[in-house]
Amino acid sequence: MEAREQEWATLMLAALAGDEAAYRSVLQALTVFLRAEARRGFARYGRGGADVEDVVQEALLAIHLKRGTWRTDEPIGPWVRAIARNKLIDSLRRGGKRINVPIDDVIETLPAEPPSEQLNERDAGEVLSKLNGRQREIVQSISINGASIRETAAKFAMSEGAVRVALHRGLAALSKIYRNEEP
Amino acid sequence: MKTENLIQALSADLATRPTPVPRAVFQALWAGVPIALGILIFALEVRPDIWTVIANPRFLFKFMFSLSALAAGLWLVLRLSRPGTPAGPALGMLAVSAGLLLLAVGTELVVLPSGNWLPALMGDRALACMVLIPTLAAAPLAALLYTLKAGAPDSPQLAGAAAGLLAGAIGATLYASHCTNDSPLFVATWYVIGISAVTVIGWLIGGRVLRW
C-alpha cells in the first residue's frame, strides 16, 4: 500500500513538473486502483458492473481537472481515495441511470467489432457524442485516433493553442456530461 | 471511448495548469474585498470618531472577534475545498473565535449594571447591522463561490458555508469600523446573526455551484 502510493506520488510530482510519460504512467496505475474500487463499491451495493468503467473515467477526469487540489507535501493516497469515493457515490446516487443520447448520435462512434468480453474496456463512446461538433472532433482525434496536438492542429487547420483550449474545454465538458449537467 | 484513449487525451492536456485552491481564494479576495471596501468608504463611511475610540477595548474587541472568525473561515475554506481533507484543526480556530466572544460577553455582563444590558444588546442600529454585514459580504462571497470551482470539496455545502463564513467575517470586519455599537452583547447578537446569514447563503449556493 505505502509503496504503491509512494510510486503514485513520485510519478504525479514528475507529471506536475511537465513529464507527460510519467503522467500517463500514474493515470494507468490509478486506473487499476479505481477499477478495483468501483467494482468493490458496486458489488457492495448490489449493482452490476456495467457502469464500472464510467466511474473509472469520471474519476480520472476529476483527478486530471482537480490535480491542483493535491498538496504535494501531503500523501496522495487519501486524496485519490476521496475522489474515487465521491465519484462512486455520485454514480450510485444516479442509480445507474444511463445518459440518454439519441441513437443517431451514437451510431458513428459505436465500435465496429462485436462487444468484447472484457468488461473493463467497455466503450464509453456515448459521452463523447454529447460534446459539440468541433470539441468532439478534437477530443476524438487525440484520444481515440491517438493524434498529437500538432497533428490535430494541422488536420483541422487550427493553431496548436486553439486545439489545446478546445481539448481542455472538451474534457471539462465531458466531466459535466457525466454529472448530467449541461456542458 | 476506452479508458486508455481517455488517458491519452488527459496527458495531452497536461500543459493546461489547474488553479491551486489558495490562489483561487486569493483571486476572489483580490476581486471582492475592494468592492466591499468601496461600499464601506463611499456609501456607509467609516465612523467619524474612529481615532478617539481606536484604543477602546470594546471597539478593539469587535475586530478581535471578526478577525478570528475571518481566520477560521479562511482556514476552513482552504481545507474543505480539497478532497479527503476534513475541517480538522480549522475547527479549533472557530472555537477560539467563539471562546473570545463568550469571554467578552461574560466580562461585559460583569462590568455593566444589569439595567444596561438590554440597551447595550439592542444598540441603536441592530437592523442595519444585520443587513449591512451581508451587503458588505456579497461581493467577496460571489467571488469566492466563482473561483472555488477550482476546488473539489467532499461536501459542496460545507465548502460553500466556509466561504460564507469567510465572506461574512470580512463584512463584519469592515462593518465594525462603521458601526458605533461596540458592546460585546451587541456583537454576540447582531454580528453573529449577520455572519450566520452569509454562512447559510454560502451553504445553499455552494451546494449547487461547487459540485464537481
Residues 9-28 of A with CB under 8 A from B: 15, 18, 20, 23-24, 27-28
How confident is the model at residue A115, as a pLDDT? 41
| Chain Cα centroid distance, residue A163 | 19
Q: What is the mean pLDDT of chain A?
A: 83
Q: Does A59 lie in the same domain as A12?
A: yes
Q: What angle do CA A113, A116, A117 make, to 5 degrees?
A: 160
Above 70 in pLDDT, residue B186? yes
A vs B, Cβ pairs < 8 A, gives: 122
Please write the tens of the pLDDT for every residue from A11-26. 999 999 999 999 999 9
Q: Tens of pLDDT along A154-171? A: 999 999 999 999 999 999
Across the interface, whether the CB atoms of B5 and A164 are under 8 A apart is answered no
Report yes or no on A68 lying in a domain: yes
What share of chain A has pLDDT > 90, as a percent?
A: 55
Q: Give A177's Cβ-side CA count (13 Å radius).
A: 24
- B15 vs A: CB within 8 A: yes
Q: Answer yes or no: do A14 and A85 share one domain.
A: yes
In chain A, which residues have their Cβ closer than 8 Å to the Cβ of B3?
31, 53, 56-57, 60, 120-121, 124
Residues of B in contact with A167 (CB under 8 A): 9, 12-13, 16
Give the domain range for residue A84: 2-94
pLDDT in tens, A131-153: 888 889 999 899 888 888 999 99
Residue B64: φ, ψ to 5°: -55, -45
A78 shares its domain with A150: no
Per-residue model confidence as pLDDT tens digits over A23-36:
999 999 999 999 99
Q: Is the Cβ of A60 closer than 8 Å to some Cβ of chain B?
A: yes
- Assign A104 a pLDDT band (cuts: 50, 70, 90): low
Decide: helix, strand or coil at residue B112: coil
Place of cell 493516497: A77
Cα distances (angstroms) measured from residue A122 to each of A29, A48, A83, B40, B74: 18, 14, 22, 58, 43
Mean pLDDT of chain B: 94
From A94, A124, A155, give the residue that closes a domain. A94
How does DSSP classify residue B81?
A: T
Integer Cα distance of B200 and B180 in angstroms: 26
A119 falls within a domain:
yes
Is B14 within 8 Å of A15 (Cβ atoms)?
yes
Q: Which residues span the domain enclosing B127?
A: 54-209
Same domain, A83 and A153: no
Query: Greater confidence, B81 or B46?
Result: B81
Q: Is residue A65 part of a domain?
A: yes
In this predicted model, which residue has the larger pLDDT, B27 or B50?
B27
In this structure, what CATH number is given to the domain that contains residue A127? 1.10.10.10
| Lowest mean pLDDT segment, chosen from A88-102, A122-136, B87-101 | A88-102
pLDDT confidence of residue A111: 47
Give the cell for residue B184: 460585546
Question: A86 touching B, CB under 8 A?
Answer: yes
pLDDT number for residue A132: 85
User: Does some domain include residue B20?
Assistant: no
Interval B3-24 mean pLDDT? 93
B113 domain-assigned = yes
CATH number at residue A78: 1.10.1740.10
Burial of B187 (0-12, 13-18, 19+ CB in 10 A): buried
Residue B187 in any domain: the answer is yes
CB atoms B11 and A24 under 8 Å: yes
Separation between Cα atoms, residue B89 and residue A107, nearest integer Å: 53
pLDDT attached to residue A92: 87
Contact call for residues B171 and B135 (beta carbons, < 8 A): yes
Distance CA B98, CA B105 (A): 11
The answer to whether residue A30 sits within a structural domain is yes
Confidence category of residue B21, pLDDT binned at 50, 70, 90: very high
Q: Give the lowest-confidence range in A97-101, A177-181, B124-128.
A: A97-101
Instruction: Give whole-number Cα distances, B109 to A6, B98, B103, B115, in Å.
Output: 56, 17, 10, 10
A183 located within any domain: no
The number of distinct structural domains making up chain B is 1
Residues B112-161 have pLDDT tens digits of 999 999 999 998 888 899 999 999 999 999 999 999 999 999 999 999 99
Domains of chain A: total: 2
